[in-house]
Amino acid sequence: MRFLSFKNKKIIFSIVFFLISAYFMPNHFVFGQEQCSTREECEQLLKQYEEQITKYEADIVKTQGEKNTLQNQISILKKQINKLNLQISQSNLMVKDLTLQVKDTEGSIDQTSLKIIGSRSNLADILQSIREEDQKSLIEILVSEEKLSGFFDNLMNLEVLNSETQKLLDEIKNLKTNLENQKQSLEDETSDLENTIKIQSLQKKESEIITSKKNSLLKLTEAEYQAQLKEKTAVEKKAAEIRAMIFELIGVPEPPNFGDALQIANSVADTVGIRPAFLMAVISQESAIGKNVGQCYVTNSQTGGGIYKGGKLILRIMNPTRDLPIFLDITGDNFSQMPVSCWIPVCYNNGYTCGATLDDKGNVICSRSGYFAYGWGGAMGPAQFIPSTWKLYEDEIKSTFNITSPSPWNIKDSFSAAAIYLADLGAKSKTQQKELSAASRYYGGSSSYARQVITRANCIQDFIDDGTMSSNCEDLIF
């Protein structure tokens, strides 16, 4: 891993401190304009903020459970604003605390670097002494009675020097390890500092939105608020009905948002007895919840060949005997318009694989002689079923979910197919081991794929349980 130079670190932190001072750092904190100048003081203030934030959250939950009146709603918004203001001030303290940590780590790095320099200097002196002794010839020692008498003493001294050399080598090795760890800590602390600033910016925006909403409500009477609430409820009900109708249509033109997809997953997964988070994770891994259902199109109804998005000719897309006839039966005259997964260029021979490329005519060129093209693309829809597997489950999809003509590209139908398949693969037990096995078999036996699915499932389950998702999970899912 490459680390920032000391000069670059100084430049970066100068910019960060300027941004903090110019935009984020307030002139005072909520608790009696208290300041902190040490890590201990900052951590104590953070604890106070956390306690106050917890109290606001409890008050908000309590008020939300009461009658939905204009006054209650305004009270909730005020508490949410107060909570966000506390979180912003808390973020300021976290920035300051992290800044102190960064300074501590920089000091430790400087001290460790000086120790390494000192140890290397001592080691150089010892090696020089050993070298000088080694250069004395045996005749030179024997002809001198004085040197002969000190010969054995010198041998003992050399033993001591060799021992000291080993100690210094071990010390330098340990110092180097410590230095690498300290540099890693510095990188982590810098990353935490940047993330805290981003979070603080989001908190400020959220506070502004809620404040605007509160100000709008303050202009309403109770009767006007209740009328708006009634109208809003009616619109939401109608939107839910329309959304349900859209999900029933074949070939949803746009992939669903995360909330809509989770709604489908909850309904479908409960029907077959698997975890909604696990089902969502598989669809997320396969197609980014319908955002990427394939970039190849079968244009030859005899060979299964076609084109890649943009017009590049590819002769090998779909298995012409196993899958192509079923695919044509599913799609009819629209077969060349339906996106499917492309073939992953790989060649095979006697248990070994190698890479492959395609020439201008779409022919496969293996990187090694004697190897042959292996595998096929052709997976369909958000769940990425190949046609022959879809055919195996088509009747069960119809009977389980009361669907007359299921389509691999329909979002609800694809969730339904994946749920039934995963249940058959053992996911009904809802244990991590069984889900790992089911995910691996879903993809054809890949443990790496299975681990990625479980990671996604954990992120989605956290969102279902707590309504929140870490930034790492957001990057992974979205």
Q: What is the CATH number of the domain that holds 472?
A: 1.10.530
Kindly state the average pLDDT of the residues 67-86. Answer: 73
One domain for residues 72 and 126: yes
Looking at the structure, tell me whether residues 200 and 262 fall in a common domain.
Answer: no
Number of domains in the chain: 3
> Is the model more confident about 349 or about 117?
349
Q: Same domain, yes or no, for 308 and 440?
A: no
d(CA 381, CA 250): 11
Structure-model confidence comparison of residues 279 and 23, the more confident one: 279
pLDDT for residue 335 is more than 90: yes
Q: Does the pLDDT of residue 26 top 50, yes or no?
A: no
In a domain, 246, yes or no: no
For residue 326, pLDDT beyond 90: yes
Q: Minimal CA–CA distance to 181: which of 173, 300, 444, 452? A: 173
Q: What is the pLDDT of residue 213?
A: 72
Does 435 lie in the same domain as 407?
yes
- Interior/surface letters 408-440, b for 16+ CB within 10 angstroms, e for the rest: bbbbbbbbbbbbbbbbebbbbeeeeebbbbbbb
Residue showing tokens 């199109």: 297
Between residues 430 and 86, the one the model is more confident about: 430
CA gap 235, 215 in Å, rounded:
23
Closest CA to 413 of 396, 430, 388: 396
| pLDDT for residue 14 | 40
Residue 315 has pLDDT above 80, yes or no: yes
Give the separation between CA 93 and CA 81, rounded to whole angstroms.
18
Task: Please report the pLDDT score of residue 115 as a whole number.
Answer: 74
- Predicted local distance difference test score (pLDDT) of residue 256: 81
Token pair for 20: 């903090």
The answer to whether residue 455 is domain-embedded is yes
What pLDDT, on a 0 to 100 scale, did the predictor assign at position 60?
54
Kindly indicate the confidence band of residue 20, based on its pLDDT and cuts at 50, 70 and 90. very low
Q: What is the pLDDT of residues 342-366, one digit of tens each?
A: 998 889 888 788 989 988 888 899 9
Q: Rg (Cα) of the chain, in Å, rounded? A: 34
Helix 411-424, helix 387-401: angle, nearest 10 = 100
Q: Are residues 137 and 203 in the same domain?
A: yes
**Domain boundaries, position 158:** 6-218
Residue 245 lies in a domain: no
Same domain, 300 and 170: no
- Residues 179-205 have a mean pLDDT of 67
Q: Is the pLDDT of residue 271 over 60?
A: yes
Q: Which residue has the higher pLDDT, 272 or 43?
A: 272
pLDDT at 19 over 60: no
| Percent of the chain with pLDDT strictly greater than 70 | 63
Position 292 pLDDT exceeds 50: yes
Residue 30 has pLDDT above 90, yes or no: no
Question: For 142-146, 173-177, 265-269, 398-402, which range has the lowest pLDDT when averaged over its residues?
Answer: 142-146
Strand arrangement of the beta sheet that strand 306-308 belongs to? 296-298, 306-308, 312-314
Asked which of 166, 195, 218 is the last residue of a domain, the reply is: 218
Residue 178 is inside which H or E element, if any? helix 151-218
Same domain as 405, residue 355:
no
Q: Return the SS3 of 8.
A: helix
> Which class for 219: exposed (0-12), middle (13-18), buried (19 or more C-beta within 10 A)?
exposed
Q: How far apart are CA 103 and CA 14, in angstroms?
A: 13
Tell me whether residue 450 is in a domain: yes
Q: Give the alpha-carbon dihedral of 216, 220, 222, 228, to 10 degrees.
A: -70
Q: Which two tokens stand for residue 267?
A: 């309904």
Domain presence at residue 228:
no
CA atoms within 13 A on the CB side of 440: 12
Top-confidence residue, 393 or 56:
393
* Amino acid at position 385, single letter: F
Q: Which of 89, 87, 81, 96 is nearest to 28 (CA)?
A: 89
Give the rounded percent of residues in the chain with a pLDDT score beyond 90.
31
Band of residue 4 on the pLDDT scale cut at 50, 70, 90: very low
Residues 50 and 109 in one domain: yes
DSSP 356: E
> Who has greater pLDDT, 7 or 384?
384
pLDDT over 50 at 450, yes or no: yes
Identify the residue with better confidence: 218 or 387.
Answer: 387
Question: In the prediction, which pLDDT does 214 show?
Answer: 74
Strands (E), 200-337: 296-298, 306-308, 312-314
Q: Which of the four pLDDT bands, split at 50, 70 and 90, describes residue 161?
A: low
Question: Residue 450, exposed/middle/buried by CB under 10 A (0-12, 13-18, 19+)?
Answer: buried
Mean pLDDT to the nearest integer, 359-376:
90
Q: Is the pLDDT of residue 456 over 90?
A: yes
Among 153-157, 189-193, 286-290, 341-345, the minimum mean pLDDT is found in: 153-157
- pLDDT at position 164: 65
pLDDT at 177: 75
Average pLDDT, the chain: 75
Mark whether 429 and 311 lie in a shared domain.
Answer: no
The residue ranking higher by pLDDT, 207 or 420, is 420
Q: Is the dihedral of CA 416, 417, 418, 422 positive or negative?
A: positive
pLDDT tens digits for 120-131? 776 676 666 666
CB–CB of 304/362 below 8 Å?
Answer: no
**Which pairs count as long-range contacts for 71-75, CB under 8 Å and 24+ apart, including other chains?**
71/222, 73/217, 73/225, 74/214, 74/217, 74/218
Q: State residue 339's pLDDT score.
A: 93
Q: What angle do CA 391, 262, 447 make, to 5 degrees?
A: 60
pLDDT in tens, 44-62: 766 676 666 666 555 555 5
Higher pLDDT: 231 or 62? It is 231
Q: Residue 476: its pLDDT value, please?
A: 85
**pLDDT band for position 287 (cuts 50, 70, 90):** very high
Q: Which of 373, 402, 425 is the last residue of a domain?
A: 373
Could you tell me if 126 and 170 lie in one domain? yes
Per-residue confidence band for 251, with pLDDT thresholds at 50, 70 and 90: very low
User: Do both 33 and 164 map to the same domain?
Assistant: yes
Element (H, E) at 373: strand 372-373
Is 241 inside a domain boundary? no
Joined tokens for residue 417: 């197919």
235 occurs within a structural domain = no
Cβ atoms of 34 and 49 within 8 Å: the answer is: no
Tell me: pLDDT of 408 over 60.
yes
pLDDT at 23: 38
Q: Best-predicted range by mean pLDDT among 15-29, 89-103, 110-124, 364-378?
A: 364-378
Higher-confidence residue of 477 and 5: namely: 477
Domain boundary residue, one of 197, 218, 239: 218
Q: Are residues 356 and 410 in the same domain?
A: no
Residue 266 lies in a domain: yes
